[in-house]
Structure 1
């Protein structure tokens, strides 16, 4: 017997179910079978039953499709465990037929569609046809059976006949007919059927499924719990658009039998109307329970009108409170702003109503995957009182972090050039680091090697030749790492061996790391070659499992995702096996299939105890006190059909057809009906680029029109609409008169904060460090930027920008650092007597030069630039080799030590190809002072050489006192910010007039060169944030003279 229960509230349907379940089954250990549309309903129903009865156990939750196959397997012999006619399996059955030129050529329409198509395009058509055939089996069973009985005029029918003739023929229609026949002749023991079936809150039921239910109900108890919006008969009401169309066709006489009823039900509820009409036609025992929500709020009025099937245009307007907020519409500039806005609005709702909890809130979004990372960013990053417990009820495996991203990146290797960024992105994956025993420090060293070696893309010289590109092979992975391996083997050398210029990789302890890195590269290269072939599906799945084995070492927390991914791969292999697919596949097809599997939703907890985020289709009819609908954009919702151009059902629609737009409209209506206290709607109503207005979804527009009609207030919709500014830090959020608000204190604009002066970074001096070891390099680094050493070195505060992305293209021009390194090499080459052409060839093999003529020109320019320096430098270095001298002395309690290079009997020799910069002068002066503390040195002079000539620093008799003074500055600079800024200080001591004005221009910039100001340095800006414009004070002038006074005077004397 079929029992049909109607109610407009899910709670009332659940109560009917509870009362029916009080009657126990004949076999108490058998589970109660409850058929639901998804896990959202099953979770909600489980908790509801447990709350009302004290327990909810021994329930078997099934989908409608699983119910069919379970009944078939229980009642019929030889029913397979797997369905060979699911969309996924049908895809693999269709693909080989589309590959057959003979079949395709016999059908002109299909032939035109596939003309010049790739294997990937044929695969995508097979996917569409798999979806369509699955729909045809449910909504056009007569077509399927007609195609199987005789010739088919359309190519889709001929394709179906081909599938049936060469593969499994046992689709659900055949099992249905067999079951009906055996039920009719009594050859099935009715005891094998479930004693009781409960079909709860199902929507969009096909006529074929309802026929199955009605037939089985003659032999067992079936209770169908139907969520019905209205207590009135609304199966035949028409919308304004439908009415106008019918009147145009049938004339004014048709108006006598056209019933419009409630406009929202008529406009949005086509699918619900047709379902109701089909249910009413069943032979069933019916019961009804309806509750009118009440007319005290705007939301309650709309829901009551639907329940009572009222046309708002025919009744007086309701009396509503002026502060009614039961329905709100929020207009934002994009998804991120929608999520930020709803976070603030929820905080406000919890504050206004302490009885409202996060568990009382549901947030539904048409495409959750578009919003998931934004939700994690906004809700997940909130702390303290702003944190709201939340959960995503479903997510794609691809959204679950590094595993899916890394796995798909490896599958994409053949489509790229294996560039430096691809490889560095892989090295960033913790699971991959563990597999190859790499630490984060190791990865940083590898990235440094990649940059130093100039590796940009490509495997090796052979690959470059196959691509017919003229690029230096030194920029490839093997070319670069081979040079490192040669460096380990041969040590430091400038000689070329076998076409390689060895590079010393640094500490010899890095040899093991180089081996692990090269091993990783070879595995990547080998995988890339493997992925370039075509294989059977089973072989591809084996390769995928090998990728997981060889490249990923998950920890315990990551293991679940690995298991899920392996299960998805196994399911893919199973689908191919069921379809008996044996053809070869190229990587693009395999990758698309895998991406589709990874993109499938993974179920999470719907009833999480916090705010639940879910797709609108997943949880639309689950009741909640506050329901929020995000992403209600005109161009996204309602959605479009996935295979509209191929769908023959759209050309001949029937009652019960499930169209995406109708399903989405019904889902909106169900969400509206399920909100118990308030409904929050948001959409992208303005472009974030140019503020161009964008329309809301048509369902939102229709709801607003209904609100204006029932209130008889044309401005009502605007009154309940909140328009948010483009940025979350807009002043409007912190202006009480705007009506907007924000709980994000960090978004308050600095100028709006009432502060008299900027707070100094240091309220008091730090404790002075105890004297200890101090290297010359450390002292020079301090003087180059005292604020950086204080903040980063002592307080571990870093404000430096992140590392630049690795280059993926061979250089066309040299950057300044590479140019200076090339010029240093050129200078050493000239001093050693090397000719220009060997130097250019050696530089090319070094991997730092651009390819071809640009590289030759760069080397020639470097050679030319250093020639004047060489001419001035050669006489100072003639006939005597340079020594590296270690000097150590104790000053002010500190043990100062350093290595001085290029020391000869005539003193120290230092050179610069560029103009003498402040940083060069700092190093030169400190080295000169340290040299002069060594009483045993053969000479205490220092010679500075550049392209102009030679500058001589004479013996410095007060070197100990001068160097001791610099150490005092160093110690003071470790306790507080000291105002020494090298560029500004050098300009100050070098100026012939108005020195402070010149230094101020360097420090703060000018109207024409503000970007070059020294105060823009992030460490200087932070340390002197309270006095940036007045930092060049008396102390600055004193430090400038102390550090640079003497060297500046000597330069002036030498150069005039």
Structure 2
């Protein structure tokens, strides 16, 4: 028996060779063939490929009697560790934890003890001790790596030294040999290097129970110990190694040089000099090092030819790689050659936009191309998976869809927490239990589908809950006790307990009732129809709190998993039985790995680190080659030929994977050839993908910043590929194969034939086409929001409340008349406790205090009520701010109460406006013949106008009385009171009728009547000044002030940052005013001049 080596440039050729071998039956007709594959995706593809070769009749589509396994399972079988390997990283972690705990006081363990906080106290000690499992698991991984890649290092440690050449162990790692010796003493099994040596001897002495013939298919890297075991296995078995290698020329060059055999320090490796093609040199190090590691004289070293390269740029590149040389003579890139496409995009989302257009174009150009012929590979599948789901319509899609939504797409090897929502909830519970339980964390968990199902939360419910959380000022922490580790256990404010108390008391009381329970001020926004929702929210938070409390302290692993399972069951409901079964199966697997040491005491951080590995992505065989377009990471489908290979996300900084050398890794100090290097592995994956594409290679990367548009370079391996392509033809081709896409999918370049790709538009999206046509159409002056006023509705009575509401903002009044909802600003949920109060929030607080004082509440009581709302910073900081706001509000209240004698009267209004119309409503409170309005704001036109309209209504209803209205607010000067006093005009009914006519017009179309701008215009007119500069200044925004132009309603009507001139259209018929030739001027004069003429005294709005 012997080792047989078979090489080919592509794995489909290798698969055909393997099929020919398997078609020759073994002596035992019932014996099973054993084929070892590197990944599940390769397994599915290979079984399908072999089914066209094997069977009772050639090509009958049957592949039977072949067992596919990975090399790790074979190694476990021949070493006797298939059921339990005490030296696997997972199993080794548990005794290593015990060794670390027992050794922290040893002098040699001082470095590790300091890192784990053994000598610390308090919160720092708890934080560092929470690293125990993570550190033990990392060290177990290092020891396992030593055992597989450099076993002589561990052997030397067990003797008495620090290791064999190429160098002694550095002094800062001197604790590792001691730790290893202590671990070996605790584990009742042969050390891995001893087990390895015994296994080699046994394999060389006699055959095993394995099949006589074995095949190892598609690997580009194997650890040194695996190669030694396979070589020993070939003593009594035929072992066929089917190796994809892109260049027979390079292989023979390396094979003929005896100096390029065996492991050497990587810095001394000169095998790269034999690679004359730049990509073989820069991307193919893994394959060169594998060749160095293989036995020097296999019984068979066969190169299987037969691949024909296409006469395209991709074919030329692959031919040059195969020849280990570049021969650009006579090569010219054809106009229709799109065999290599590189697309530079603005970020990940645009990469998926571009990818789907490229795929649609390829499918349209070639009717024989099917989704099964395409593979999409991403270095970071979790970043791109949600974008792929959206871009290809894998989720719920509303309305017209993109043509790419009709493609059959399958996402493979995603993390379990992404595919099983119960596992996602379990992971989130661990995160919340180990954090502050912020408002956003708890709300995000409530949005999870199983949690929504358990508590019956609808979309409307979650919107209401979010509003409650914001209004109740919930920030973080379940209760004061939960804040104890942060030193804030004496503050109840802004906790979930604090906020829920406010919500639940709000069911029975309002916040103006001057009643509260302990610290709970009732929340005023809980309707009578929301009582049951408040109860469900309280139950959800209480269950989550209890679960997080139980996920604390130290306890055995089994208790942790039982507690976590209970928490998931308390908080979720799933109608999918497989989700619960998978949760139980994953947790049982964790316990099985721990074995007898599942009783080891662990902290929450330990459990989080432990479960992190089990919840990571694990591809299954069923994810691949299902007849759909497969999207996966770059490992599972490595080397598998496809007509179209797409590589997405080859961004600088993301590919190859960015790794920082582990400072505790002894191998990293002087790496040897054949030892794993993740960055070299990623480079090899890129080379494999280039060689696996039979017709088209598509690559996307972020070529420009999606926010600033600043150009970004491609990743280094991609840049090397582009350099090689420039040398593949007689003239550089980079500018022709790299397509630089615009930021937006509706840019005209996407729809203009030839703008991005030769001869045709790039996009297939009809929506993008319509948008681009609109974008590039004939430019015209922006029209008004509506082309003409809406039809007049039948004239009816007008309520005083509607009239005053309209004039608070006439444009918003138009939208309200249409029941049109505008996208007003919505405050986000805050997670941080307030340490300072923003000006807008300070106004809200001050206005509430002022209203409370006007209702008779004592200023201190008003301040205490505000303290109970949780809007103020905690402790003295909050009380100091509350005192400052209270004092100013008290001055305003005193100024108002000085004129408010008694309780005030209410007057019913029913004014005949003519033509059968009436103005109806109630004016209150009125003190004798005076009204007094007060605001915490700086006195501005919008505060004066409602009082003026009420004054007109009273004067029109009772013209024989001496009415007046006083408006009080803060002055422009700091801490001063502003007051404006008005009396009615000579003919209040005429003024009122004119206001109603403006009201009628404003309900049919948006009026150019922004309050501050129009007030500035009228004030300048009254004073004999030019109104244009004053009005323009009030309209425009600057660094210090927000003008009327920034109002959302104004922007909806006149566009973003509308020019002042949009207000200067001519007056409509019936709106004319003497001396005014603009509609703004005419309306401003009608609205404001009567008011200004009736002002008796003022320290009012700034002029």
Q: What range describes the TM-score normalised by the shorter chain of this pair?
A: 0.7 to 0.9
- Which residue pairs with 2:607 in the alignment? 590
Decide which of 51, 61, 66 is 1:55's aligned counterpart: 61
Change (3 A) 1:824 1:181: closer
CA distance in 1 between partners of 2:964 and 2:44 (Å): 82
Decide which of 532, 540, 545 is 2:565's aligned counterpart: 545
Deviates further, 437-446 or 174-183: 174-183
In the alignment, structure 1 residue 366 sits paired with structure 2 residue 379: yes
Change (3 A) 1:1000 1:124: same
- Which residue pairs with 2:593 in the alignment? 575
CA distance in 1 between partners of 2:570 and 2:1041 (Å): 49
SS in 2 for 1:128: helix
TM-score (norm 2): 0.78
In the alignment, structure 1 residue 809 sits paired with structure 2 residue 865: no
Deviates further, 667-676 or 511-520: 511-520
SS in 1 for 2:558: helix
Deviates further, 690-699 or 782-791: 690-699
Deviates further, 346-355 or 56-65: 346-355
SS in 1 for 2:254: coil
In the alignment, structure 1 residue 1023 sits paired with structure 2 residue 1053: yes
Measure how far apart 1:586 and its partner are.
1.6
In the alignment, structure 1 residue 410 sits paired with structure 2 residue 462: no
Map Cα deviations across residues 408-455 of structure 1 (whole Å, 9 max, x no partner).
Answer: 443233554444444444444454344334444444444444443444
- Which residue pairs with 1:1050 in the alignment? 1094
Measure how far apart 1:809 and its partner are.
2.2
In the alignment, structure 1 residue 844 sits paired with structure 2 residue 867: yes
In the alignment, structure 1 residue 300 sits paired with structure 2 residue 315: yes
Give the gaps of 5 or more residues in structure 1: none
- Which residue pairs with 2:166 in the alignment? none
In the alignment, structure 1 residue 912 sits paired with structure 2 residue 904: no
Q: How many residues align?
A: 1031
Change (3 A) 1:137 1:474: closer
CA distance in 2 between partners of 1:679 and 1:779 (Å): 67
CA distance in 1 between partners of 2:337 and 2:222 (Å): 38
Pairing 1:95-110 to 2, within 5 Å after superposition: 95-101=97-103, 105-106=107-108
Change (3 A) 1:386 1:1020: farther
CA distance in 2 between partners of 1:400 and 1:942 (Å): 69
Pairing 1:331-370 to 2, within 5 Å after superposition: 335=348, 338-339=351-352, 342-343=355-356, 345-346=358-359, 349=362, 356-370=369-383
CA distance in 2 between partners of 1:641 and 1:856 (Å): 50
Measure how far apart 1:81 and its partner are.
3.0
Pairing 1:268-667 to 2, within 5 Å after superposition: 268-276=283-291, 281=296, 284=299, 288-294=303-309, 296-307=311-322, 309-312=323-326, 318=331, 321=334, 324-330=337-343, 335=348, 338-339=351-352, 342-343=355-356, 345-346=358-359, 349=362, 356-376=369-389, 383-385=401-403, 389=407, 390-399=409-418, 407-413=426-432, 415-460=434-479, 473-483=492-502, 485=504, 493-494=513-514, 498=518, 506-554=526-574, 564-576=582-594, 578=595, 580-603=597-620, 605-607=623-625, 609=627, 611-632=629-650, 635-639=653-657, 644-649=662-667, 656-667=674-685
Map Cα deviations across residues 760-816 of structure 1 (whole Å, 9 max, x no partner).
Answer: 544566676688998655554444345445557746553323433436222523633
On the 8 A contact 1:812/1:851 being kept in 2, the answer is no
Change (3 A) 1:780 1:542: farther
Change (3 A) 1:6 1:1001: same
CA distance in 2 between partners of 1:551 and 1:119 (Å): 29
CA distance in 1 between partners of 2:596 and 2:252 (Å): 41
Map Cα deviations across residues 356-412 of structure 1 (whole Å, 9 max, x no partner).
Answer: 555443333333334444545655599434658444332223555976665444323
- Which residue pairs with 2:9 in the alignment? 8
CA distance in 1 between partners of 2:799 and 2:458 (Å): 29
Map Cα deviations across residues 133-192 of structure 1 (whole Å, 9 max, x no partner).
Answer: 33344444566677779998675555445444433527888888888888888797x5xx
- Which residue pairs with 1:134 in the alignment? 144
- Which residue pairs with 2:1011 in the alignment? 982
Measure how far apart 1:535 and its partner are.
1.6
Change (3 A) 1:953 1:698: closer
Map Cα deviations across residues 612-641 of structure 1 (whole Å, 9 max, x no partner).
Answer: 433223323111223333444565544566
Decide which of 130, 133, 146 is 1:123's aligned counterpart: 133
TM-score (norm 1): 0.81
Change (3 A) 1:457 1:218: closer
CA distance in 2 between partners of 1:209 and 1:683 (Å): 36
On the 8 A contact 1:826/1:866 being kept in 2, the answer is yes
Deviates further, 324-333 or 728-737: 728-737
On the 8 A contact 1:238/1:266 being kept in 2, the answer is no
Change (3 A) 1:503 1:364: closer
On the 8 A contact 1:786/1:978 being kept in 2, the answer is yes
CA distance in 1 between partners of 2:484 and 2:156 (Å): 58
Measure how far apart 1:290 and its partner are.
0.8
CA distance in 2 between partners of 1:692 and 1:869 (Å): 53
Map Cα deviations across residues 459-495 of structure 1 (whole Å, 9 max, x no partner).
Answer: 4456678855598644443344435555656765325
Change (3 A) 1:896 1:204: farther
